[in-house]
Amino acid sequence: MSFLAPAAAALALTLPVIVALYFLRIRRPTRVVPALNLWPDEIRDRQANIPWQRLRFSWLLLLQLLAAAVLVAAAAQPALSAGAGLARHSVVLLDVSASMQARDVQPSRLDEAKREVGGLIDQLGPQDRMTLIAVGSVPRVVASVVGDREALHRAVNDIGAQNGPADLSAALALASGLVRPGDDARAYLFSDGIVGPIRTDSANSLPFPVEYHRVGVSGENVGMTSLVVRTGAQSRAAYLHTQNFGRQSRSFSVEWRADGRLVDVRKLTLAGGQAQDLVLPVPSDATLVSAHIDAGDIFALDDTVSAVASAPRAFRVLLVTPGNVFLQQALSLRTDLQLDVIAPSAYRSAAPYAMSIFDGYAPPALPDGPFILINPPAGSPLAGGTPIGIGRVRAVDAGDPLLTNVDLQDVHIARSQDLHASKFGRPLITSLQTPLVLVRDEPFRQVLFGFDLHESDLPLRIAFPILVQNLSEWILPPSVPSHSFHPDEPVTIVPEAGATSVTVVRPDGSRRSLAGGSVATFGDTDLTGLYTVEQVVAGKVDRSWFTVNLFSEQISQLKPAERLTLPPLSSTTAAHSAHRGQLEIWPWIALVALGVVVVEWLAFHRGL
């Protein structure tokens, strides 16, 4: 046992003072009584006729000395050695991700973890410090190198659950940045182990050891991990994926609603680990569909899902070409494009179109807006040099989002204009001889192809429609994407032309205003449910929707991980000198002191 405030022992001087007061004569008021012999003639503890007298034994004196001694002991803040070994700097990583809302431990995994963190805080010694990091989709430092236990308790209590995943790698990187080299530090991870992929290579080595405190016991959960609305030739249907992630068989019903109206109820029984896909009808006039299961399991976040059923707004696109069936087919794969195809001779203006595509033709004045220019004829402003033969085709940056899923390995191009000297923009696809495709963001998103598609086998490859899709979505992202997003995933919103205000109404009714007139990224998607985007165009309110659903099998399976594979310790990690944690017991001692005072009071009134 140690004392956190040993200086308080000086208060023990009160003990001789109490004894001295017993020596001293007490000044008493005189009371005349008719018959003194009727009053009990007992020798009282404080009876004294001379200023200093021999100390008599007294229960009251004993109790008062005991109470004072216990209070002095409490003031010295004695602490017992606790079981856990604490470093001087404790880094607590508290998982606040969606899976921590599971109620397999009461009241929830997160509350249980917070309780355990509270116990760790209580063990901090006067010299110890703690850093508290909430591990969500974006790690957040809640308390940085704090020694005040009250402040730490408040910080822990203020932490709330999030609906997104846990990015433990980012949290560990953040924690590593907060620990100075050579610090005596140790990290404590309070989590159910359902975290994102952890980079365990040596480049991400940690300067402190990590203790994993597993929270949660069960993985018995039934959830929905996908809901997609598909529009066919005649009708629309929704495809719902449900799965029993636990081991026990479960029976439940699925409530299917369109715009809040109950459309269908399906009874399901799923064995442990079994999944089932449902095809559900979508009314033609429905805007929003939602499904809810009443499985009564330990996790509610995946029991309700929703999807937007209405078709997205279409963009008008102009294709000016002497004839290019490949390009026409690739563009028509995107359902929200309304394509107008004209011959170069018919071209007048691209003003009413959101995007223009010029194939083998360049207008005298290029439109002041997004366009794709393919093989501009010689003499036009953006035309390259003399065509040259092309060898192997490759991507400038294989990780470029515009080339996602675009395989250029078997693509061949006969010849292309020499774009070496072009100032159009950055090269996207290139060859040894010359850049082949250039892109630029300013003043508008625009693309320049240096070769004729007909002189290449690119249109015959699966890469071509994907490339066209990537480029068109980059140039013309949907105003409001109608598909589902994950919690905390940013949503790009492109305001309608002429929109004076853009407001997003969240599922809880709160409103967020975005800057009108420019592409905005909306990041407040922590809540699951339906988000409504309201745009005011020419005085009219135009509404569109997107949804946020958990849709994560990794989270819905819920089973806590027994152990985690964490990055290795770095070679520069300080020798860990874990000392015993301290458990303060002064509140209990103060309680004993209170009890002694009460006994002293009772003893006084009983005439002891």
The closest alpha carbon to 255, from 272, 267, 241, belongs to 267
The amino acid sitting at 189 is L
The full DSSP string for 510-532 is -EEEE-TTS-EEE----S-EEEE
Minimum Å gap between C-beta 594 and other proteins is: 22
Q: What are phi and psi of 325, to 5 degrees?
A: -70, -30
Q: Kindly list the residues in this chain that would bind other proteins in the complex (CB under 8 A).
A: 26, 28-42, 44, 46-49, 604-607
Long-range contacts from 142-147, C-beta under 8 angstroms, 24+ separation: 142/94, 144/178, 145/89, 145/178
Q: Quick one: 343 or 602, whose CB is closer to other proteins?
A: 602
Q: Which residues pair with 377 in a beta bridge?
A: none
Q: Which helix (H) or strand (E) holds 118?
A: helix 109-122
Question: Which DSSP category does 401 fall into?
Answer: G
Q: Quick one: 43 or 421, whose CB is closer to other proteins?
A: 43
Minimum Å gap between C-beta 34 and other proteins is: 4
The closest alpha carbon to 356, from 330, 314, 326, 319, belongs to 319
Q: Quick one: 326 or 604, whose CB is closer to other proteins?
A: 604
Terminal CA-to-CA distance of the chain, rounded, Å?
A: 35
**Token couple for 534:** 């309201």
The answer to whether 542 touches 182, Cβ cutoff 8 Å, is no
The answer to whether 222 touches 253, Cβ cutoff 8 Å, is no
Minimum Å gap between C-beta 596 and other proteins is: 19
Q: Quick one: 574 or 599, whose CB is closer to other proteins?
A: 599
Residue matched to tokens 């140690």:
2
Question: Which DSSP category does 76 fall into?
Answer: T
Q: Quick one: 46 or 241, whose CB is closer to other proteins?
A: 46
Q: Quick one: 342 or 598, whose CB is closer to other proteins?
A: 598
Strand runs (DSSP E) across 282-383, as ranges? 288-293, 304-308, 315-320, 337-342, 355-359, 371-374
Minimum Å gap between C-beta 50 and other proteins is: 12
The answer to whether 98 touches 79, Cβ cutoff 8 Å, is no
Q: Quick one: 30 or 521, whose CB is closer to other proteins?
A: 30
Minimum Å gap between C-beta 47 and other proteins is: 5
Q: Quick one: 39 or 57, whose CB is closer to other proteins?
A: 39
Q: Quick one: 31 or 54, whose CB is closer to other proteins?
A: 31
The amino acid sitting at 314 is A
The answer to whether 429 touches 456, Cβ cutoff 8 Å, is no
